Amino acid sequence: MNTLKTITHKKTPPHKYATIQNNLWHLLSIIFKIIINSKLKTINSPKIKLSLLLILLYSSSHSQTIGRIIEIKNKQDTTFLSDVMIYSTQTKQLVYSDSTGFFLLNTLPPNDTLDINALGYVRQKFIVKNPSEKLLIILKPAIQLNEIEVVYQRPSVEYSVINPLQIQTLNENYLQKAACCNLSESFETNASIDVQITDAITGIRQLQMNGLVGKYILLTKENMPYLFGIQSAQGLSFLPGPFIQSIQLSKGTGPVLNGYESFAGQINTELWHPAKPEFKLYFNNYINQNGRNEYNLIYNQKISNNVHYNLLLHSSFNPLAQDFNHDGFVDIPTGKQFNIVHKYAIKTNNGLDWQFGGQLILDERTSGQIIPNYNYIENPYIVTSTTKRYDAFSKSGWIFKNKPGHSIGLQLMYSYFENKNRYDNDPYNALQSSFYVNLIYQGIIQTTAHTYKIGLTYNSIQPDELYRYFIFKRNEQISGMFAEYNYVPSPNLSLLIGNRLDYHNYYGWIYIPRLHLKLNFNNQNTTLKFSAGKAFRTPNPLSENIGLMASRRVFYFDGFDTSLPYKLNPETGWTFGSNLYHTFKLFYRPANILLEYYYTYFTSALITDIDTPKEVHFYNNSASSHSAQLEAQFQPIKRLETHFAFRYVQQQALYSRKYDEQPYIPKFRGFLNLVYTTANKKWNFDFTAQYISQKRLPHTFQNPPDFRRPNFSQPFWNLLSQITYTHKWKKNEIKCYLGVENLNDFKQNNPIVAASTPSSPYFDASMIWAPIYGRMIYAGLRYYWR
């Protein structure tokens, strides 16, 4: 028999003589299936066909209830139906028919009712009078129509009503709404993520979620750690957008099997899978008015039915040094990057599913006062950065076919990161090697209503940093174990309880409890979710505040325990969240509304205090964040997708002796995205409008008058738009796109304090709250060869 897609109940081990007998029946079943299947195609009589089917059913198995789903279209045509849902109302078993129409159920009680459901066919209630008999079920089409093409338009952002975690899946359609050159630029059209530039010189971008900065977001690649330790600040630009097939965005605390971090949420990226290619060859080219040009190539190859691989190549170049605000500093760094990912996928018939591969990144950047023929008053202030990163990973899983619902998985990851920077005369060199192991065992307790995951984790992180006269070196060794239980008595209720216990060689024992609850109402049109949990992380004050290095500020580490990294305590806190998701019809078309609230309280947070002129202080204290967001998606007219969102954030931290808002986090944010696709699907028009309210800025009232800044930034709008034309021939496809960022050309005036005298102690390029380049026009193409 072919393996069924879903088996929910464990079988009682049979007697050894019964096992021998079953194996003989199974062998006969295979022989009969080969003979009969080959003959059915040449036999025209439906009576003979039905007789052969009954013989085949009888020969297959007698220890369980077995059946087959067919459709008899006419005297000459009998079709086996696959992927038909069969549900036992008494035993609660749910299975699907295989590619030849067969299905298998554990022995049913007499007079059990089977609910037979298949798309395009009349739904049937089938009463099993004698479970030992073989079942032959004939379905009838729901409506007889002439041949038509049914097209489903997949939304670019999908919300899960099944998973107890609040997860949004951003698929390829979303990633193509804008240029999305790398991960940091993939959220320009997202309602939940803010993108902030750290300083006016390096152009490094930082994410914000739920009123928290990017270091509180767990960043993973294919559910393995990707940006962690001292990599987190610059690593967002090291994952090209075309490499990404989808992004899973979850808010609040995540599952314990992914670790003890995740205060604000988790961003997981899935690269293109070698064994599930949507194309054989993909090519992408991008260029903008700054001269930035990028090239991406993805090649998928099938070696055998069980072995596949792909090769992902990226190169980008920024050759132009432009200064449109005339402050002597380039608006965008010059440089180049080369990026290679090579992946293999092996899947065997005995239950092994294995992926492995590696990534190589080489990146060079130059910025600062490098404008040709510019009359600088003093020696130019130049910033250089060189990065090398090597990754090797392996993900393997083994499904126990003789123990349905049970599997084991092993994740392995090695990463080497080397980053050398120079801010004028101040060096910042960062080196980190890390090794990660995660062993996961998954099983069920009698039925799939009770599932569990248990496992062991080992993480070795060895950062080494040099900045000015500071040298920080540590060797983190973390060993842990976790257990997760998921209770799903019905599709309308899901309870996920997780606990993990880790031992950290610097901080001792770490206990992390987490809970997620999901409730569905109104035929799953309404979903209510709750989450609560604790999180923990090691602070990295230098790499996480790399934008402050583009200044003359003096760094102070105000901790007391010299045995701890940076003399600072770890960051710990609790996050609580709830969200309400409702789907309905508006203008006779699908619509949904989402209401979210998240609260994070830090029992110990790393405070980056930049309110003292010419100084930055790092110390531990308490902090909190409240975030409420309303989203709505609907189609006011046909093919016009409308996405609206509004967010309110209230956050504060204890600075020295008083609470104050943290800088650069807007209190209000509005979002509107409009997407219109023509009826022939050749043209796509995308428009995004973002409203960013005022942000608190660091205090500068003690500076000389020429070097002072307002206490708050001004609110502004950021507009983006893109037009895409699609042309298809045979199975191939080409998309040409033209877009513009910052359409309204809003720019921050005088972004650099003391730009004309960078040797001044008041020089500071980190006080950035808005774009500094202005309007950016870009164009590109995407080619798919299938």
Q: What is residue 39's predicted lDDT score, i.e. its pLDDT?
A: 44
Give percent of the chain above pLDDT 90: 68
- Residue 371 pLDDT > 70, yes or no? yes
Residue 201 per-residue DSSP state: T
Cβ distance 376 to 368 under 8 Å? no
CA angle in degrees (0–180, nearest 5) for 60-62-66: 60
404-421 pLDDT per residue, tens: 889 999 999 999 999 999
**Averaged pLDDT, 436-460:** 94
Q: Are strands 265-271 and 217-221 parallel, antiparallel or unpaired?
A: parallel
- Residue 6 pLDDT > 60, yes or no? no
Q: What is residue 53's predicted lDDT score, i.e. its pLDDT?
A: 45
Residues in the chain, overall count: 786
CA angle in degrees (0–180, nearest 5) for 125-138-29: 110
**Averaged pLDDT, 476-492:** 95
Cβ distance 720 to 688 under 8 Å? yes
Q: Which residue pairs from 333-336 have beta carbons closer than 8 angstroms and sit at least 24 positions apart in sequence?
A: 333/201, 333/202, 333/203, 333/365, 333/366, 333/367, 333/383, 333/385, 334/365, 334/366, 334/367, 334/370, 335/363, 335/364, 335/365, 335/366, 335/385, 336/363, 336/364
Cβ distance 609 to 623 under 8 Å? no
Cβ distance 202 to 255 under 8 Å? no
- Residue 711 pLDDT > 80, yes or no? yes
**Averaged pLDDT, 273-301:** 94
| Window from 125-139, 415-429, 473-487, 738-752 with minimum mean pLDDT | 125-139
For residue 52, the surrounding DSSP H or E stretch is helix 46-60
66-117 pLDDT per residue, tens: 788 888 766 556 777 888 888 888 888 888 887 678 787 877 888 888 989 8
Residue 352 CB contacts under 8 Å (≥ 6 apart), including other chains: 346, 396, 397, 398
- Residue 548 pLDDT > 60, yes or no? yes
Q: What is residue 336's predicted lDDT score, i.e. its pLDDT?
A: 96
Q: Which residue pairs from 646-651 have beta carbons closer than 8 angstroms and sit at least 24 positions apart in sequence?
A: 646/670, 646/671, 647/191, 647/671, 649/210, 649/211, 649/625, 650/211, 650/625, 650/626, 651/211, 651/212, 651/623, 651/624, 651/625, 651/626, 651/627
Candidates 625, 516, 449; CA nearest to 160 is 516
Residue 278 per-residue DSSP state: S
Candidates 355, 288, 347; CA nearest to 317 is 288
Cβ distance 6 to 34 under 8 Å? no
0.75 surpassed by pTM = yes
